Amino acid sequence: MKRVYNFSAGPSMLPEPVLRRAADEMLDYHGSGQSVMEMSHRSKIFGGIIGGAESLLREVMRIPENYKVLFLQGGASSQFAMVPLNLMNGSRKADFVLTGQWATKAYKEAARYGEAHVVASSKDKTFTYIPKLDPSTFSKDADYFYICMNNTIYGTVYHELPRTGSVPLVADISSCALSRPIDVSRFGLLFAGAQKNMGPAGLTVVVVREDLVGHARELTPTMFNYQTHADHGSMFNTPPCYAVYICGLVLDWLKNTVGGLENMEKINKKKAGLLYDFLDGSRLFHGTVVKEDRSLMNIPFVTGSPDMDAKFVAAAAEQGLVNLKGHRTVGGMRASLYNAMPVEGVEKLVDFMEKFEKANA
């Protein structure tokens, strides 16, 4: 068996111990004589799995008691509509910062339901930075203020959160969830598609402050109402059972093997540091993002020549360093260094980049 180092932006690597444990438990989960994929979601044994995943998430992320955790489907993209349907219910205004394609999609979707206001954008420089925000330009009566915390395609991250006062801050954390500790109490709502850092595709995790649940707009489909899922413990209908189970194993790994989010952050800083330090000294490769807004998770870089980029991506793949091609709209390369990417994978990548540079610069 040969495993590659997979730098994909998502779906992406899962921790090897998680995959091994899932393989061990595949045919007979804890003496039940069934795979988790086969069991009733109403069974006691699955109740233990989903309850266990929720309490691990609460513990690892230190989620306060007055927040609901919802295990949903529909991807992060469904949240672009669910958030306005549930939260745009007072002034029907919301503020947005446009830091890339995902934030822009969320903004466009919200604009179908109310007054979506762009407070800042970094589109002028292809989203290579996080705009400086001036709170005096925020809508005082907005129902919420929306950001995409880590910009998967462009490789930027907020190191400082906007000061929105009593206006609830909503953040898409799809590509940085669980990468480091965050203060959940600063947010009204957080959501993430699991396939970047939490588990397999098919699961979307929403963490929402209780007082924001229960005020959905009249036309909201039942399945798009947070209250539906909060009232039924994410079991109004069949949840993505197997994805929830794997997410639970990932959280168990984070807690017991990694030792929590503080340790995870140290490891992630080490990994990203290896690659950024190399890029800063390279004659061939360079990063595309302003230094102070660099993401720990997604690191785009270019040589300046599309032909050289393509040659590098192909040569790296031959070495078992795969999915380094940049997003189709950006070009160049992107290395996604999510939690499951071992330090060794980044060391191998940097070694290979050094060799490639010597041979081609």
CB of 320 to ligand PLP, least distance (A): 24
Asked if 8 is part of the footprint of ligand PLP (rule: CB under 6 A), the reply reads no
Is 270 known to be catalytic? no
Over the window 215 to 244, marking each residue x when it contacts ligand PLP by CB under 6 A and - when it does not, the resulting string is: ------------------------------
Query: Least distance to ligand PLP from the beta carbon of 75, Å?
Result: 3
Interaction of residue 303 with ligand PLP, rule CB under 6 A: no
How many other CB atoms are there within 10 angstroms of residue 134's CB atom? 10
10 binds ligand PLP (CB under 6 A): yes
Which residues have a Cβ under 8 Å from the Cβ of 39 and sit 6 or more positions away?
29, 32, 45, 46, 241
**Is 172 annotated in the active site?**
yes
Residue 193 or 239: the one with the smaller Cβ distance to ligand PLP is: 193
Catalytic pick among 68, 93, 196, 325: 196
Return the residues of window 118-157 that contact ligand PLP according to CB under 6 A: 148, 152
Q: Are 313 and 171 in contact (CB under 8 A)?
A: no
Amino acid identity for residue 92 in this structure: R
| CA 2 vs CA 33, 319, 320, 336: distances in Å | 30, 12, 9, 20
Render 147-206 in DSSP notation, one character per residue. Answer: EESEETTTTEE-SS----TTSPEEEE-TTTTTSS---GGG-SEEEEETTTTTSSTT-EEE
Q: Answer yes or no: are the C-beta atoms of 206 and 234 closer than 8 Å.
A: no
102 binds ligand PLP (CB under 6 A): yes
The span from the CA of 87 to the CA of 69, in Å, is 16
Of the candidates 102, 252, 271, 325, the residue annotated as catalytic is 102
Tell me, by CB under 6 A, how many residues bind ligand PLP. Answer: 12
Contact call for residue 36 and ligand PLP (CB under 6 A): no
Contact between 196 and ligand PLP by CB under 6 A: the answer reads yes
- Interacting residues toward ligand PLP by CB under 6 A: 10, 75-77, 102, 148, 152, 172, 174-175, 193, 196
The residues assigned a catalytic role are 102, 172, 196
